[in-house]
Amino acid sequence: MSAASVLMSVAIFGAATVAAEAPAEKPKGLPNPFFAYCHDTHDAKKRSLKDQADLLKELGFAGVGHLGIGGLDQRLKTLDDAGLKLFQIYVRVNVDPTKAAYEPGLKEAIKQLKGREVSLALTLCGKPASTPDNDPPAVEVVREIAGLAAEAGLRVTLYPHVGDWVERVEDAIRVVKKVDRKNVGVQFNLCHWLKTGDEAGLDALLKDALPHLFVVTINGADHADRKAGWDKLIQPLDSGAFDIAGFLKRLKDLGYKGPIGLMCYGLGGDARDHLARSMAAWRKLSERLAAGPQ
């Protein structure tokens, strides 16, 4: 063997040895953007929108959800300055045809959001619990909002909320199918699903929702119980008896890659504390699930 061949063999062997000894790449997390909302409703520090954006940026959140249309200008500015995204605005819609369906300022807010890939999360209220018999007025108003949203490139999600006209995911799916608009889908809210008091049939429900599933929201929680207080059903992500890891695995196995929101409503004290805890739990869960079976 020539000297050149020997040197080449040594180089190849050396490179292979280095590659073999190199530490394995750290597994990446789930592809879902992770954002926070309702983190400001009970924050003892009463942070300004700028301080909220700075905190969420520091902790690693992708962005936020915004309640209503008030303060939207300032919310957008502070998020833009921090390099964060507005994922949703939450809007109450009255499905009673004798009442105004939504605030007059909604149309202007939609124009303001044009091109931002924001979804309008609609809580449908104004009538007793949803039944197929009283769907038509709701379908009409959701189609109207969907048309306005489509012109701005926005999506609409039906947000199941206990006590409102649509409080179950099943009802939201039914209405979405009747609305029949490409930019209208369903939001799965873990705490409100648990509040209905029945954990049975989760796999079937998620499969049924998947073709229309635009957003999922999670939090730490105890098990389903209609009588349980929100303090049991909305906790930091590292707390509670409900199997969050199993829930996220179901979403991963179904191929859901959309945004996941962290519900923080009612969590008191300094928001930094519970947000940091939840982000640490999210990173741990996300990386473990992305790495596959352990």
Query: Looking at 51-65, 127-141, 158-172, 225-239, which range is the least confident one?
Result: 127-141
Which pLDDT value is given to residue 8? 44
- Please enumerate, as own/partner, the contacts of 69-75 that have beta carbons within 8 Å and a separation of 24 or more: 69/103, 69/105, 69/106, 69/109, 72/109, 72/112, 72/113, 73/112, 74/49, 75/49
The tokens describing 190, both together, are: 């873990």
pLDDT at 206 over 90: yes
CB atoms within 10 A of CB 83: 10
Between 242 and 24, the more confident residue is 242
Element (DSSP H or E) covering residue 263: strand 260-263
Which pLDDT value is given to residue 188? 98
Which pLDDT value is given to residue 68? 96
pTM (2 decimals)?
0.89
Distance CA 249, CA 261 (A): 16
Half-sphere exposure of 6 (CA within 13 A, CB side): 3
Which pLDDT value is given to residue 197? 81
Which pLDDT value is given to residue 15? 43
Distance CA 79, CA 276 (A): 19
Domain definitions of the chain by residue range:
28-288
Distance CA 94, CA 106 (A): 13
In this structure, the strands spanning 184-189 and 213-218 are: parallel
Section 95-111 average pLDDT: 95
- Give per-residue pLDDT as tens, 3-56: 444 444 444 444 444 444 544 555 589 999 999 999 999 999 999 999 999 999
Half-sphere exposure of 189 (CA within 13 A, CB side): 24
Architecture of the domain made up of 28-288: Alpha-Beta Barrel (3.20)
- Give per-residue pLDDT as tens, 142-183: 999 999 999 999 999 999 999 999 999 999 999 999 999 999
Section 263-288 average pLDDT: 98
Distance CA 289, CA 287 (A): 6
Which pLDDT value is given to residue 127? 87
Section 58-72 average pLDDT: 97
Which pLDDT value is given to residue 27? 55
Q: Mean pLDDT in the chain?
A: 91
Which pLDDT value is given to residue 19? 41
